[in-house]
Amino acid sequence: MTESVMPTYRRLDITFAKGEGAWLTDTRGERYLDALSGIAVCNLGHCHPAVTRAISEQAATLVHTSNVYHIEKQQLLADKLTQLSGMDQAFFCNSGAEANEAAIKIARKYGHNKGIDKPVIIVMDGSFHGRTMATLTATGNTKVQVGFEPLVSGFVRVPYNDIDAVRMAASHWPEAVAVLVEPVQGEGGIKIPDSEYLSAIRDLCTQRKLLMMLDEVQTGIGRTGKWFAFQHKPGLLPDVMTLAKGLGNGMPIGACLVAGLGKDVLQAGNHASTFGGNPLSCSAALAVLNTIEKEQLLDYVTRLGEKMYQNFKQQLGKTEGVKQIRHLGFMFGIELTTSCTELVKAALQENILINVTSEKVIRLLPPLIINSDESELIVNKVSQLVKTFLATRSVESVA
């Protein structure tokens, strides 16, 4: 990489030239099994024919018009997303951070409509909502905030998976207008809350007329075996839900959906996005949703995800140094007792792409379309990498 690119990423020394399904090929011709999907973006794998066809046909017809005009594909996508989710309206943008910015603005506007001058949003420790100034502030990780102070006001933070803490914050802050939470913390280490956590937040928000805002940027679009992670709780519906990542399978698109108290808060002139929801990105997203439906990938992810989890437990469950193995659908977190960031490079040498988050958690987000052989290859390769790594640590510790 030349010095003309701003060094905002710690890049690995590899460049990919093409992708097909769950595999990427680098510029030297080496193939790699992608167990990360571009961090939950390429849910249908690389260059899925249906998405490629949709993008190609739309690009040859009409790429962009301003949101000053009606956009047919945007309307079709909004209809599809509201039908699948039970939400009422959708706003389209370019990324997860933009979607969460929209959610934060909805919360503030909702508060001002109620006569609250300084609205407060309750957010969680360990969360990740983006890197714009407002989403950076909402994010519960001080490492990403250092150097960017002063942060945005209007957020109060509580521990994740602690409903009593949320209740206490709602009681102590009369300016509270919303609770923003991830159904599963992805960047936070694949943390899955107790089964009643989201329902309890929903009940609290209903009682106090707070907006329940779910960040489904990573968990949405089939990643957990449901269209959206909140659907693991029958009857639960948020007031605001944000999406991105898997929605476009690589085409930049995000969405903020509203229902209940979140509906009709934003009016004409309150919010906008230049590229958001243009014909090209919406065509890709429609192809993604239709393909997941046509190929019945939600049930497939549920079944294969459970099988992979059981295989991981069989291979690593009793390994000293493995603290916990967690999963929901195709979100896997293998937490070790020691820092393991070096495993990313070790995996690359074994031609498999993985990620380590929160320093000690191996995060796996494979494409929803992997076959049985590829799933076994992921489990076997990652398990062997972990065993070798921990054995080396043990020897170093003794020495």
Q: How far apart, in whole angstroms, are the C-alpha atoms of residue 334 and residue 356?
A: 9
Phi first, then psi, for residue 381 (nearest 5°) are: -65, -45
Binding-site members are: 96-97, 128, 131, 215-218, 273-274
Binding-site members for N(2)-acetyl-L-ornithine are: 131, 273
| Residue entry with tokens 């909702």 | 110
- Peptide bond preceding 150: is omega within 30 degrees of 0, i.e. cis? yes
Cα–Cα distances (Å) from 296 to 5, 170, 366, in that order, read 41, 40, 17
Is residue 318 within 8 Å of residue 388, measured between CB atoms? no
Rg of the chain's alpha carbons, rounded to an integer? 21
Q: How far apart, in whole angstroms, are the C-alpha atoms of residue 376 and residue 330?
A: 14
For residue 213, what are its two tokens?
């805002």
Binding-site members for pyridoxal 5'-phosphate are: 96-97, 128, 215-218, 274
Long-range CB pairs of 379-384, under 8 A, 24+ apart, other chains included: 379/308, 379/311, 379/312, 379/315, 380/315, 381/33, 381/347, 381/350, 381/352, 382/35, 382/312, 382/334, 382/347, 382/352, 382/354, 383/312, 383/315, 383/316
Neighbours of 279 (CB within 10 A): 18
Residue-by-residue DSSP string for 135-150: HHHHSS-GGGTTTSPS
Cα–Cα distances (Å) from 363 to 188, 326, 330, 340, 341, in that order, read 10, 10, 10, 11, 11
Q: How far apart, in whole angstroms, are the C-alpha atoms of residue 336 and residue 360?
A: 5
Is residue 178 within 8 Å of residue 211, measured between CB atoms? yes
